[in-house]
């Protein structure tokens, strides 16, 4: 059960595992169980993701085919936020990202790079590619490293996979640099979404499967955080030494039902 529902807005963390939060596999998500019900209520809803293997357009199209009522403007992801930072600071990135997200950076100059942007590059995290990124950083007087999220791992059908945070730490260690994280749980990333909705943090509830990056990140910014027991969830999360969710639900559908029931909708 969730401890609070005094909210005007709600965030749902989204990822390649969003359907697992609903316990829906390989097919359409029934509208009665989807965030469509939330969007039809008096709540504002935004979808926050650290997805860095596809553009937002591709990501949204995939979810729409599953039955989700969602549009690009409602999705906040690290790559567009990184592009804005790069342009603002006049930086030219060396990219170590998945091929599918490269188009997000088409508007940014990349010749003679003076920083490195690392995302979930999956199989592109080879020794050669990591070493190339290392060489760019180590050759700079003041190395600048951006990481699109800092997750430790994520879940796919075949099991758990290492996430970008592992490789971020390797470059930090090798180059004596602290990465600037863009995406969850970065407070500036969260604030951008709050500003988009025109609400305060105490009016907002986050639902996600990642205890530290979703729930903990939201709580650090003054929001409430609810964890779903799917995806990245582990039973040990409920005994975590530093992060305690404000509530737990078995899946996203249960969260939606509980929210609307307690709001009398």
Rounded distance between C-alpha atoms, residue 87 and residue 207, angstroms: 31
Residues 6+ apart with CB under 8 A from 38: 10, 45, 256, 259, 260
Write the DSSP string, 180-243.
Answer: EE-STT-HHHHHHHHHHHT--GGGEEEEES-IIIIIIHHHHTT-EEEEESSTT--GGGGG-SS-
CA distances (Å), origin 236, targets 42, 213, 233: 35, 16, 8
pLDDT tens digit string along 216-247?
999 999 999 999 998 889 999 999 999 999 99
- 7 has a pLDDT exceeding 80: no
pLDDT tens digit string along 12-56?
555 444 444 544 444 445 555 456 777 778 888 898 888 888 899
- 122 has a pLDDT exceeding 90: yes
pLDDT tens digit string along 136-191?
999 999 999 999 999 898 888 888 899 999 999 999 999 999 999 999 999 989 99
pLDDT tier at 265, thresholds 50, 70, 90: low
Rounded to the nearest integer, the mean pLDDT of the chain is: 86
- pTM (two decimals): 0.78
SS3 253: helix
Domain architecture of the chain: domains with CATH: 9-77+184-262 (3.40.50.1000), 78-181 (3.40.50.1000)
pLDDT tens digit string along 99-111?
999 999 999 999 9
Mean pLDDT of 59-77: 86
Query: Contact 185/242 with Cβ under 8 angstroms?
Result: no
Describe the strand order of the beta sheet including 145-147 as a list of residue ranges. Answer: 93-96, 115-118, 145-147, 180-181
Residue 68 tokens read as 């989700």
Residue 118 tokens read as 């690392």
pLDDT tier at 3, thresholds 50, 70, 90: very low
Give residue 127's pLDDT.
98
Percent of the chain with pLDDT over 70: 86
Question: With left for phi above 0 and alpha for psi between -120 and 50, is residue 10 left, alpha or beta?
Answer: beta
Give residue 9's pLDDT.
57
Rounded distance between C-alpha atoms, residue 22 and residue 34, angstroms: 8
Query: Contact 115/146 with Cβ under 8 angstroms?
Result: yes
- 206 has a pLDDT exceeding 60: yes
């Amino acid at each position: 059960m969730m401890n609070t529902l005094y909210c005007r807005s709600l965030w749902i963390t989204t990822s390649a595992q969003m359907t697992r939060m609903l316990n829906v596999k390989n097919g359409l998500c029934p509208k009665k169980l989807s965030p469509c019900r939330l969007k039809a209520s008096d709540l504002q809803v935004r979808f926050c993701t650290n997805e860095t293997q596809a553009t937002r357009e591709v990501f949204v199209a995939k979810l729409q085919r599953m039955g989700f009522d969602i549009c690009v403007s409602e999705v906040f992801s690290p790559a567009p936020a990184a592009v804005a930072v790069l342009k603002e600071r006049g930086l030219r990135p060396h990219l170590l990202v998945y091929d599918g997200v490269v188009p997000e950076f088409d508007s940014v100059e990349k010749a003679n790079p003076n920083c490195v942007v690392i995302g979930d590059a999956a199989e592109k995290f080879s020794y050669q590619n990591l070493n190339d990124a290392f060489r760019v950083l180590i050759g700079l007087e003041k190395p600048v490293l951006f990481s699109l999220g800092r997750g430790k791992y994520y879940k796919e059908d075949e099991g758990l996979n290492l996430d970008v945070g592992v490789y971020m730490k390797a470059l930090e260690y090798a180059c004596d640099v602290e990465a600037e994280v863009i995406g969850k749980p970065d407070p500036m990333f969260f604030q951008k979404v709050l500003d988009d909705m025109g609400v305060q943090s105490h009016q907002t509830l986050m639902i996600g499967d990642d205890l530290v990056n979703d729930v903990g990140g939201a709580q650090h910014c003054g929001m409430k955080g609810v964890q779903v027991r799917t995806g990245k969830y582990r039973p040990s999360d409920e005994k975590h030494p530093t992060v305690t969710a404000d509530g737990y639900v078995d899946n996203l559908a249960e969260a939606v039902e509980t929210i609307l029931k307690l709001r009398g909708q």
